[in-house]
Amino acid sequence: MKAVVIPVTPFAQNCTLIWCEKTMKGAVVDPGGDVDHIVKAIEEQGVEVDRILVTHGHIDHAGGVAELADRLGVPIEGPHEEDRFLVDGLADQGSRFGFADARAFTPQRWLQDGDEVSFGEETMGVRHCPGHTPGHVIFFDAAAKVALVGDVLFQGSIGRTDLPGGDHDTLLRSIREQLWPLGDDITFVSGHGPLSTFGQERQSNPFVADRLFAS
Ligand SMILES: [Zn+2]
Ligand SMILES: [Zn+2]
């Protein structure tokens, strides 16, 4: 499995192109906007995109989904249906944040905890990780030791919980019960900022380090 991060939108959101090296088939995760730029990156890598994956319904992650799906003629998978209110409201979120082209969409599949998504000969697991939004999902490959976690966890921080449907305690639970069991050696791509590993965050993250929960 290979991946490149394509920063998009004024929020510098880490759209990720991920693919199977054997078949060169892949997926675009969180195409928040700048769709021309994403299409160019896909062409440069020579990847045949066969699906779009969405972690959650915020504009910077989902604002370009409908346009990219139309242009590539591919299905959309995710987020969890509890983010439907955000996905339905994308045009509205777009006009508030200056994304003129953002449109609502209906994914071919709303994802649930325990689902799998695949492209080429690669398969990734799905975990439902509410807290930043109620329907946030993350994607992981236990063998490749990689996870795409959207706005659940960042290097040195966690997702905001002051937006509609956010909840701080739920987010902490998602991180500790859904992410940590995947393994300390998992490298994760966040929705914003640099890469890190779960092990590093368990040591030093000021919100979710293990020592903060020691009893
Ligand atoms: Zn978000
Ligand atoms: Zn974001």
- State pLDDT tens for residues 171-186: 999 999 999 999 999 9
What is the secondary structure of 119-183 as a DSSP string? ETTEEEEEEE--SSSTT-EEEEETTTTEEEEETSEETTEE----STT--HHHHHHHIIIIIGGG-
Tell me the CATH number at 193.
Answer: 3.60.15.10
Token digits of residue 84: 């439907």
> Quick one: pLDDT at residue 97?
86
Q: Name the DSSP letter for residue 14.
A: E
Q: Which ligand minimizes its atom distance to the CA of 13?
A: 2
Q: Which ligand minimizes its atom distance to the CA of 60?
A: 2
Ligand 1: centre distance to CA 19 (Å): 24
Give the side-chain half-sphere CA count within 13 A for 215. Answer: 0
Ligand 1: centre distance to CA 163 (Å): 9
Sign of CA dihedral 191, 193, 194, 198: negative
Ligand 1: centre distance to CA 37 (Å): 21
pLDDT per residue rounded down to tens, the chain (215 residues): 999 999 999 999 999 999 999 999 999 999 999 999 999 999 999 999 999 999 999 999 999 999 999 999 999 999 999 999 999 999 999 888 887 789 999 999 999 999 999 999 999 999 999 999 999 999 999 999 999 999 999 999 999 999 999 999 999 999 999 999 999 999 999 999 999 999 999 999 999 999 999 87
Token digits of residue 95: 């006009």
Neighbours of 82 (CB within 10 A): 18
> Quick one: pLDDT at residue 66?
97
What are the distances in angstroms from CA 195 to CA 66, 75, 78, 112? 27, 28, 22, 25
Token digits of residue 158: 């966690």
Q: How many residues does the chain have?
A: 215
> Quick one: pLDDT at residue 179?
98
The range of the structural domain enclosing residue 203 comes to: 2-213
Ligand 1: centre distance to CA 7 (Å): 15
Decide if 30 contacts 55 (C-beta within 8 A). yes
Ligand 2: centre distance to CA 215 (Å): 32
> Quick one: pLDDT at residue 99?
78
> Quick one: pLDDT at residue 214?
81
Rounded to two decimals, the pTM is 0.97
Q: Quickly count helices (H) and strands (E) in the chain.
A: 7, 13
**Which secondary structure element, helix H or strand E, spans residue 19, and what is its range?**
strand 13-19
Ligand 1: centre distance to CA 211 (Å): 27
> Quick one: pLDDT at residue 25?
98
Number of structural domains the chain divides into: 1
What is d(CA 61, CA 163) in angstroms, rounded to the nearest whole number? 15
